Structure 1
């Protein structure tokens, strides 16, 4: 079982479709997203040591694939305007109701838990991003 290792979620390529190419992402926001979101919602996962043990890796891989299907920050530019707006709204809702990051993830990754300041920063960023996208859509940029 240890011999069969699924491919890792690691991309060494430039990311032309990243959300930061479309909306402003401050260093503070980028740090929060990387710490609490990117393991499951980007093309680059930071794997813990136990990810190299089967069947744990298969379980993690399934979560990562599901997370990326739902939202991938590295593919955000390729989404339609409507989907971009829906994803930003979903981010806002999941922060407000505390459903993200998943409790099964934060059980082991305690540093991924969002504190009140981080939640406020992300909520403000989401609103600014939605406004920015609306302006771009109205002006046809």
Structure 2
């Protein structure tokens, strides 16, 4: 039993020498969702607090992201989040993809699937009230309608 504990401790120390890359891609303000959609400050703050750590290039890594293997879990969530939706590069999405992403935002917020429950552990401020969820859903629906109207007008 003592040997197993020693092996586990040695392995834990060794994996600390393999940190994750915490470099965020450079900001691209002209492509950022909040900027191009001219989001109201109250809405922008909610989105930044509850979404941007995983769904933008503006990730603020928590202290535990410096400790392996927790850091690997965090980095995987960030990579997956950016892959599914990256608010920092929203403008590069084709219009139909933007509409689809807005639909996904609406659905995930309504179903309380986002933010993830596991995210709340270190980010209590990201927890959304039912009222905040309703505000975000209303906002994303309005942005979607505005985008659809722009498409119809440009045809």
2:27, 2:57 within 8 Å by CA — same for their partners in 1?
A: no
Partner in structure 1 of residue 76 of structure 2: 62
Partner in structure 1 of residue 105 of structure 2: 91
- Give the TM-score normalised by structure 1: 0.91
Partner in structure 1 of residue 56 of structure 2: 42
Query: Which structure has the bigger radius of gyration?
Result: 2
**Which SS does the other structure have where 1:8 is aligned?**
coil
- Give the TM-score normalised by structure 2: 0.83
| Gap regions ≥5 residues in structure 2 | 1-14
1:95, 1:123 within 8 Å by CA — same for their partners in 2?
A: yes
1:22, 1:77 within 8 Å by CA — same for their partners in 2?
A: yes
1:21, 1:77 within 8 Å by CA — same for their partners in 2?
A: no
2: CA distance between counterparts of 1:9 and 1:75?
A: 16
Question: Aligned pair 1:7/2:21, yes or no?
Answer: yes
Structure 1's 112 and 133: CA in aligned 2 closer, same or farther, altered over 3 A? same
Structure 1 stretches of at least 4 aligned residues deviating more than 6 Å after TM superposition: none
2:28, 2:88 within 8 Å by CA — same for their partners in 1?
A: no
- How far has the Cα of 1:9 moved from its partner? 4.6
Question: Aligned pair 1:18/2:32, yes or no?
Answer: yes
2: CA distance between counterparts of 1:128 and 1:108?
A: 31
Question: Aligned pair 1:104/2:118, yes or no?
Answer: yes
- How far has the Cα of 1:12 moved from its partner? 4.4
- Please tell me the root mean square deviation across aligned C-alpha atoms, in Å: 1.7
2: CA distance between counterparts of 1:14 and 1:24?
A: 15
| Gap regions ≥5 residues in structure 1 | none
Question: Aligned pair 1:128/2:142, yes or no?
Answer: yes
Partner in structure 1 of residue 65 of structure 2: 51
Structure 1's 135 and 117: CA in aligned 2 closer, same or farther, altered over 3 A? same
